[in-house]
Amino acid sequence: MDRIVIVGAGQGGLQAAMSLRQDGFAGSITLIGGEAGLPYQRPPLSKAYLKTGDADALRLRPDTFFAKSDITLVSGVWVDRIDRVGKAVHAGDRSFAYDHLILATGTRNLRPTIPGLDRALDLRTLEDALRLRRVLDSPRRCAVIGGGFIGLEFAAVAAGLGHVVTVAEAAPRLMSRVVSPEMSDRFLTLHRDVGTTVHLESAVTQVTDTGIMLMDGTAIAADVTLLAAGVVPNTVLAQDAGLRVDNGIVVDDRLLTEDPAISALGDCAVFPDPTTGRPVRLESVQAATDHARLISRRLMGKSDDPYAAVPWFWSDQADAKLQIAGLATPQDEALTGDDGAVWRFAGDRLSAVETVNDARTHMQARKRLAGGPVDRTALVAARFDLLAV
């Protein structure tokens, strides 16, 4: 294998390029990204960057890195077609031949059909964050559509900067897809304590020149509206090339699509959860980077092990660092320990641990979950002491 092409120069695409070099790949690596400039990390876009405006701090590697590592970075170029028979990707009149192709195309904002939504701003790219920062340079009333991680992180920063913030969430609780009801309540209190108004069970029905309208007819006055209602995976390339797509590009437990010359990773990939086997798509730095490392090892013949990394995630909101180890479904049971950690259970099995400002328990949980299933009865008997089970 001489030529590896990676489409998507984000967190996972860059990691794949770096891992391939580290694992000894001597052929050509071409990393193609639609966004202009160097690959950067997105998590600070809704956190530190909104306060500091320091774009250089977001760069994952300096420009000298690419020449030094002999990685051809092609930025500002959107790939529009995969030719699986000819083994090449096309971007306008340019084409890039591959022996193996890695799809790392990430996600884009979900745009619900809300009249006037084009008045709302996004927070997905550095360009979006730059635009948001500019409008926050004087006191504003901000409305946020969506009480998930990104909307709430933005809300916390904006409230901290003295803006008047209102969050509208359609579900009955915050971050409902990913955290327990206990943790949703805790964060509801946190946001209300810093002065943010939160409306639950309040789908937004319209974005106007003066703010947003909620389904019960309430009008929220706002100068700035942020759309943070979730994302959709970028799968069009894969779908047009005849690859299987089902809420993401479908891959096996080695992150290979049904085409042995094409892998997919990160936010755009649906893979079998190593614990339950159910198809999952994760939107996290951890998944993107661990996927990339596994694909590199597989391509370099260093390991053919299936993907088995324990998922983990973090979110910074005001002075609270929420960390999640493992993967729970919304219906998993939740028990709160004496130290405030929330323990999630799928039947008798520990599925996830949610902590706030408690890095020690989070790290222990990641380590312990990597060691195999943790039994609920044993854990409760040990008063949630992970080192004892």
| Least distance from ligand FAD to the Cβ atom of residue 8, Å | 3
Does residue 231 contact residue 107 with C-beta atoms inside 8 Å?
yes
Closer to ligand FAD by Cβ: residue 159 or 214: 159
The candidate with the shortest Cα–Cα distance to 75, out of 47, 101, 37, is 37
How far apart, in whole angstroms, are the C-alpha atoms of residue 73 and residue 32? 6
CA distances to 26, 337, 381, 383 from 389, rounded to whole Å, are 45, 15, 9, 10
Among positions 4, 5, 10, 174, the unique one binding ligand FAD when judged by CB under 6 A: 10
Does residue 233 contact residue 281 with C-beta atoms inside 8 Å?
yes
Closer to ligand FAD by Cβ: residue 45 or 167: 45
Check residue 7 for interaction with ligand FAD (CB under 6 A): yes
Binders of ligand FAD among residues 288 to 317 (CB under 6 A) are: 288, 313-315
Helices (H) and strands (E) in the chain, counts: 10, 25
Does residue 220 contact residue 209 with C-beta atoms inside 8 Å?
no
Binders of ligand FAD among residues 114 to 143 (CB under 6 A) are: 123-124
| The pair of three-digit structure tokens given for residue 40, joined into one six-digit string | 């950067």
249 to 288: interface string for ligand FAD, x by CB under 6 A: -----------------xxx--------------xxxx-x
Beta strands 211-214 and 262-264 are unpaired
Closer to ligand FAD by Cβ: residue 20 or 213: 20
Closer to ligand FAD by Cβ: residue 35 or 182: 35
Stretch touching ligand FAD by CB under 6 A, among 103-111, 194-202, 298-306, 324-332: 103-111
Closer to ligand FAD by Cβ: residue 307 or 345: 307
Binders of ligand FAD among residues 226 to 255 (CB under 6 A) are: 234, 237
Binders of ligand FAD among residues 37 to 66 (CB under 6 A) are: 42-43, 45-46
Q: Is 230 helix (H, G, I), strand (E, B) or coil?
A: coil
Check residue 78 for interaction with ligand FAD (CB under 6 A): yes
- Closest residue by beta carbon to ligand FAD: 10
Radius of gyration of the chain (CA): 22
Closer to ligand FAD by Cβ: residue 8 or 146: 8
150 to 179: interface string for ligand FAD, x by CB under 6 A: x-----------------------------
The candidate with the shortest Cα–Cα distance to 115, out of 198, 209, 197, 201, is 209
Check residue 8 for interaction with ligand FAD (CB under 6 A): yes
| The pair of three-digit structure tokens given for residue 111, joined into one six-digit string | 């745009």
Closer to ligand FAD by Cβ: residue 46 or 275: 46
CB within 8 Å of 298: residues ≥ 6 apart: 254, 255, 256, 263, 304
| The pair of three-digit structure tokens given for residue 103, joined into one six-digit string | 């799809």
The candidate with the shortest Cα–Cα distance to 317, out of 127, 231, 176, 188, is 188
Among positions 105, 263, 317, 351, the unique one binding ligand FAD when judged by CB under 6 A: 105
Does residue 72 contact residue 154 with C-beta atoms inside 8 Å?
no
| Least distance from ligand FAD to the Cβ atom of residue 322, Å | 9
The candidate with the shortest Cα–Cα distance to 156, out of 370, 338, 321, is 321
Question: What residue ranges bind ligand FAD (CB under 6 A)?
Answer: 7-13, 32-35, 42-43, 45-46, 78-79, 104-106, 123-124, 150, 234, 237, 266-268, 283-286, 288, 313-315
